[in-house]
Amino acid sequence: MAKATRSAEGWVDGETKVAESPNDHGDDLRLWLRILTCSTLIDTEVRRRLREEFETTLPRFDLLAQLERTPEGMLLSVMSRRMMVSAGNLTALVERMVEIGHIRRESSSADRRAQIIKMTPAGRSFFRKMAKRHGEWISELFGGISDSDRSALLSRLGTLKTSIRSALTPGD
């Protein structure tokens, strides 16, 4: 994640530092830094608001969001791949969520060694409150963008995503 540093003038991110010497960097690098800066700003603010309003973390929110889409539950191994985290990190996160009553574990009927995690009714209620506020926060953060600019940005970022995926070699 890109870090911002504090200077006498205020917060300085990587994009701002590059802007101070634009001839040293090409458009591709400046574009990447702009995207990274925007992502970091949004991520930092969402994390702060989750912590302050719900006393929770973004990984907990993400875990519940995945389970909201799969009421039948999900194997821990599948969840690990979906969240792109190691099994060890996920196990600790799941354990904490079980302790606070937001999810429960069950053994798989197909393989007793495999664990399925499911959201509890309390977890579902908690997640829905957070998801509603999360949507409001994102709308607030994007509020300065017109509908036409939002649509154009979404389309262009889709093009960028396709370009990036096509540049990746199989196995990356």
Domains and CATH numbers, the chain: 1-55 (no CATH), 57-137 (1.10.10.10)
Which pLDDT score is estimated for 168? 92
CA distances from 158 to 28, 83, 114 (A): 16, 21, 37
The DSSP H or E segment spanning 43 is helix 27-54
Report yes or no: 108 and 58 within 8 Å, Cβ to Cβ: no
The percent of residues in the chain predicted with pLDDT above 90, rounded, is 67
Among the residue ranges 30-39, 79-88, 103-112, the one predicted with the least confidence is: 103-112
Q: Please, how many CA atoms are within 13 Å of residue 57, restricted to the half-sphere of its CB?
A: 7
pLDDT digits (tens, 9 = 90+) for 45-72: 999 999 999 999 999 999 999 999 998 9
Q: Is the pLDDT of residue 18 over 80?
A: no
Backbone angles phi, psi at 5, to 5 degrees: -115, 155
CA distance 65 to 102: 12
- Measured from the Cβ of residue 117, the count of other Cβ atoms closer than 10 Å reads 22
Report residue 12 as tokens. Answer: 């300085």
- Measured from the Cβ of residue 52, the count of other Cβ atoms closer than 10 Å reads 8
pLDDT digits (tens, 9 = 90+) for 113-161: 788 999 999 999 999 999 999 999 999 999 999 999 999 999 999 999 9
Q: Is the pLDDT of residue 1 over 50?
A: no
Q: Which residues contact 81 (CB under 8 A, 6 or more apart)?
A: none
Report residue 146 as tokens. Answer: 């017109």
pTM of the model: 0.78
The whole-number average pLDDT for the span 14-21 is 57
